[in-house]
């Protein structure tokens, strides 16, 4: 049964195609990095997603210097994902084709489009997952609205603190 990922457990295994032609498995850092930051964005139709990812671009080298792989993912198809990447100028890998079932498996909130002009398919609301070198969720931030997302510079600073101070995973108990 789908539910929210619990900190200190693995993400559901989800492998998706990316614009670079490779497959990306969420929760498995690439390029020999120890950590992975998974940013779920709503889709090409979302102007707030554009602004968020544009703000990420200047921080990407700092995330990489901190041994953090960064990947973007949405339910858009390849064409819309490519337009999003082109419009935002992101150099982060962009995975696409997240199905509604996979969204639910990740514990994401899923919305239907308000009109055909918005988009043509259900889409995930924003989320951020940080996977540690043990392969478990260290941070899960799941929103039900486009307006609520973690500040990326604050997140980077927090991740550096976690690593420098060996700060433990928090929030491992859930309500029944």
**What is the per-residue pLDDT across 29-79, written as a single tens digit (0 to 9) for each?**
988 899 999 999 999 999 999 999 999 999 999 999 999 999 999 999 999
Which CATH number is 59's domain given?
3.40.30.10
Question: Is residue 37 one of the residues assigned to a domain?
Answer: yes
Question: Is residue 116 one of the residues assigned to a domain?
Answer: yes
Q: What pLDDT shows up at residue 1? A: 38
Domain with 149 in it: 33-164
Total count of domains within the chain:
1
Q: What pLDDT shows up at residue 113? A: 84
For the chain, which residues score pLDDT lower than 70? 1-2, 175-176
Question: Is residue 17 one of the residues assigned to a domain?
Answer: no
Question: Is residue 52 one of the residues assigned to a domain?
Answer: yes
Degrees to nearest 5, angle at CA 109 with 155 and 159? 15
The Cα 105–Cα 122 span in angstroms is 15
Question: Is residue 4 one of the residues assigned to a domain?
Answer: no
Which residue matches tokens 């198809």? 77
Q: What pLDDT shows up at residue 120? A: 82
Contact 72, 94 (CB under 8 A): yes
Question: Is residue 10 one of the residues assigned to a domain?
Answer: no
The Cα 176–Cα 163 span in angstroms is 31
Question: Is residue 173 one of the residues assigned to a domain?
Answer: no
| Pair of tokens at residue 166 | 């060996």
Cβ-proximal residues to 118 (8 Å cutoff; 6+ apart), any chain: 45
Question: Is residue 14 one of the residues assigned to a domain?
Answer: no
| Mean pLDDT (the chain, rounded) | 93
Produce one character per residue of 109-145: b if its CB has 16 or more CB atoms within 10 Å, e if not.
eebeeeeeeebeeebbbbbbbbbbeeebbbbbebbee
């Amino acid at each position: 049964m789908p539910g929210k990922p619990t900190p200190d457990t693995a993400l559901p295994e989800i492998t998706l195609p990316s614009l670079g032609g490779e497959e990306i498995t969420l929760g498995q850092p690439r390029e020999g990095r120890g950590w992975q930051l998974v940013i779920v964005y709503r889709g090409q139709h979302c102007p707030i997603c554009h602004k968020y990812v544009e703000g990420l671009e200047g921080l990407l080298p700092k995330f990489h210097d901190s041994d953090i792989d960064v990947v973007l993912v949405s339910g858009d198809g390849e064409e819309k994902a490519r337009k999003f990447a082109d419009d935002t100028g992101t150099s982060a890998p962009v995975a696409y084709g997240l199905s509604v079932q996979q969204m639910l498996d990740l514990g994401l909130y899923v919305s239907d489009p308000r009109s055909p002009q918005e988009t043509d398919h259900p889409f995930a609301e924003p989320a951020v997952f940080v996977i540690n070198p043990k392969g478990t969720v260290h941070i899960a931030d799941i929103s039900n609205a486009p307006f609520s997302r973690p500040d990326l510079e604050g997140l980077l600073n927090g991740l550096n603190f976690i690593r420098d101070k060996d700060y433990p995973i928090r929030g491992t108990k859930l309500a029944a």
